Structure 1
Amino acid sequence: MRTTVGIIGAGPAGLLLARLLHNAGIDSVVLESRDRAYVEQRQRAGILEQGTVDVLRAAGAAARMDREGIPHDGIELRFDRRRHRVDFPALTGGRSVMVYAQTEVCKDLIALQLAAGGPLHFEAEALAVEGAETENPSIRFCHQGREDVLECDYVVGCDGSWGVARKAVPADVSQVFERTYPFGWLGILADVPPSHDELVYARHDRGFALLSMRSPTVTRAYLQVPAGTDAADWGDEEIWDELDRRLETDDAWTLKRGPITAKSVTPMRSYVHEPMRHGRVFLAGDAAHIVPPTGAKGLNLAVGDVVTFARALVELRETGSDARLEAYSATCLRRVWQAERFSYAMTTMLHRAPDATGFEDRIQLAQLDRITTARPAETDLAEGYTGFPLD
């Protein structure tokens, strides 16, 4: 088998890259180790930045998102039983975000790829990336019980933090920067309409809480819990009671309760691998970086990576210049580190560490008070949340 771009991973990054390349007339093959049902059902991010929304629309992949997605023009911050709304368009020159689950993005992109794109192979496990420093790297993979080789001009690893693409970058040129947090998120899905029409981020002495949604009839909510917590240890009513406590306000707001249909615990981690390119192998999304979910940046960073790569390849074809390809890692990392900064700031401002002191509590409250009383601080949050430029 041979193609111009071999893509490992059919998450949103790999699928979107295949779509962008197809639209540009560049052939690709996507290899995904899981089956289609798994890819279309795995629960991940639900917030799309303005730039991601714009890219999906330009790629012809936004018809269902525009019908079923929920535009959001702000978020609400809660602390000390107070409520403060951050108005995104007013602070960012009109930018906003879209609530549309990653599962739905993947379904849309898979349908487009199978209908009009290049090959997409499910249950095709990439075993190794070879020849990264040559002009013809290859992916050794196993599909339908036999081993095969996909020869490429370029390989893009969208295969997550435990995938094989990153192993193609030699250890002596790799640098890893990471932080593991002593808490995680207990997340639930519940068959009940959201209790608020925008996301609510709450800082509380008992820990962080987030009130979100998946649709007008499905609530998504999270509680800060100690690292290593088993979701099964939390009863449904216990979860609702704790959300009630952490989201409490001094007005008449009430939390709507309903049947919990799913619960899980997400660990909190910050991770960056540098460089994001070695030879003709390029890393994108979780293969290169992970952010805690507080800033809603994971999927959106992956989109930025593949847009950068696709634009660089188009420029090479049209002008003969590989300057953008050569700059891929540096270009992406500037945006990555801004997103890491933003996610770290949101996480440390809203979550209470297990060993937090009164001093640290007061610092968190002072940070929140600054955002709610000083327009420059509020603008910085709104600009970070709605997304950093893709260029």
Structure 2
Amino acid sequence: MRTQVGIVGAGPAGLLLAQLLHRAGIDSVVLEARSRSHIEGRIRAGLLEQGSVDTLVEAGVGARLMREGLAHDGLDLRFDGRSHRIDLHALTGRRVTIYGQQEAVKDMVAARLETGRPLHFEVEDVALHDIATDHPQITWSQDGVTREVHCDVIAGCDGFHGPSRAAMPPDILRVYERVYPFAWLGILAEAPPVSPELIYARHADGFALATMRSSQLSRLYLQCASDEDPALWPDARLWEALRTRLGAVNEGNILQKGVTAMRSFVAEPMRHGRLFLAGDAAHIVPPTGAKGMNLAVADVRVLAAALTGFFHRGETALMDRYSEICLKRIWKVQRFSWWMTALLHRFSDADPFEHRVQVAELDYLVHSEAARTALAEQYVGLPYDI
């Protein structure tokens, strides 16, 4: 095959990039290791910044999002048994929207298939070649046949465990990482959300989060041990712990239960030769700040603009600055996600002094307009550089 952009990974980053490039008249081939049913059914992030919503609408994949997404103007911080609302919209003029990542993926898969351009599922043995040249290639196997695509650019959108980052020369790649000493035990339950907006709770027993996927589906999380076995949490124990930490819950049939690891990770640079990393291939944030998919969208906005300038006008300046521009935002978002995580979780080695400092910071936050504004500006999403 021959194409302009070879895209490895059909998650939000890869699919959105393919859509934006198609609308700019740039050809691409998308390769995905998983099945279509897997990527469309995997329950992941569900909170979109205002800028992410605007980008999906601009890309022509936001019609169902605008119909079914749940717009939120605020959130609740709960500590010491009391809830305090942060009015995001009043502080920033912007809001966030609840719309499951898997729903956005469904919309983008449908849009990709409608274009008739290649989207290959269940590919194996993906390998990147000659990325430092002007003519990189990708090879893979499918149905027992080895295939190859020649391209001008490769976009590595294949997540933390994909082959794209591994194709970068190890002597130029710098990795920054922090693994947190706890995890989240999450459930998806057939129950109306206990609150119309998200509740972030700090409790002596540990952090809890109440969010939703729809008006009838609740997504709930509990801080747990990093090696927690979900089997040790029967439904009755789960509901009791959630009720204790959140103050109240609406119980229902639990559809899914699983443990989410907590990690901060950044790989620099995000470009080598004609290979560009985007999304989880380059960075992971702890879910406390709800930034994972939003960072992927921000990366893709820059990359799509850079590739449009390159293919239409022969410009390379934005391609050369891609890593610099993206990392500037990534580190600000890492700081915010780290701060939210440190503020709301119970650390096993924390002493009473640290506990009181956490509570004092939360009390300052909810009673200071300046502090609330700083949180709100970052939560709804920082302005885009591109």
Which TM-score bucket, shorter chain as reference? over 0.9
CA contact (8 A) 1:18 1:118 kept: no
Letter in 2 for 1:346: M
In 2, Cα distance between the equivalents of 1:389 and 1:323? 21
CA contact (8 A) 1:22 1:117 kept: no
CA contact (8 A) 2:239 2:251 kept: yes
CA contact (8 A) 2:26 2:311 kept: no
In 2, Cα distance between the equivalents of 1:385 and 1:32? 31
Letter in 2 for 1:182: P
What corresponds to 1:50 in structure 2? Answer: 50
Q: Superposition pairs for residues 35-184 of structure 1, below 5 Å?
A: 35-92=35-92, 94-184=93-183
Give the structure-1-normalised TM-score.
0.97
Give the structure-2-normalised TM-score.
0.98
In 2, Cα distance between the equivalents of 1:116 and 1:126? 26
CA contact (8 A) 2:141 2:147 kept: yes
CA contact (8 A) 2:5 2:152 kept: yes
Instruction: Tell me the SS of whatever aligns to 2:349.
Output: coil
In 1, Cα distance between the equivalents of 2:27 and 2:200? 43
What corresponds to 2:208 in structure 1? Answer: 209
Letter in 2 for 1:74: G
CA contact (8 A) 1:312 1:322 kept: yes
Q: Which moved more, 1:121-130 or 1:78-87?
A: 121-130
Q: Pick from 261, 265, 269: which aligns with 1:267? A: 261
Letter in 2 for 1:76: D
In 2, Cα distance between the equivalents of 1:240 and 1:87? 28
2:327 matched to 1:328? no
Letter in 2 for 1:68: E
In 1, Cα distance between the equivalents of 2:187 and 2:194? 14
Instruction: Identify unmatched segments of 5+ residues in structure 2.
Output: none
2:381 matched to 1:387? yes
Deviation at residue 279 of structure 1 after TM alignment = 0.5
What corresponds to 2:360 in structure 1? Answer: 366
Q: RMSD of the TM alignment (CA)? A: 1.0
Q: Superposition pairs for residues 204-243 of structure 1, below 5 Å?
A: 204-243=203-242
Letter in 1 for 2:36: R
Letter in 2 for 1:110: V
Per-residue CA deviations over 1:325-377 (Å, capped at 9, x if unaligned) read 00000000001001100000000000001111111111111111121111111
2:294 matched to 1:295? no
Per-residue CA deviations over 1:226-264 (Å, capped at 9, x if unaligned) read 11001111010111100111112xxxxx42111111100
Report the count of equivalent residues: 385
What corresponds to 1:251 in structure 2? Answer: none
In 1, Cα distance between the equivalents of 2:379 and 2:130? 39
Instruction: Tell me the SS of whatever aligns to 1:190.
Output: strand
In 2, Cα distance between the equivalents of 1:389 and 1:279? 28
Deviation at residue 126 of structure 1 after TM alignment = 4.9
CA contact (8 A) 1:8 1:126 kept: no
In 2, Cα distance between the equivalents of 1:314 and 1:158? 18
Instruction: State, as a whole percentage, how many aligned pairs show the same letter.
Output: 55
Instruction: Identify unmatched segments of 5+ residues in structure 1.
Output: 249-253
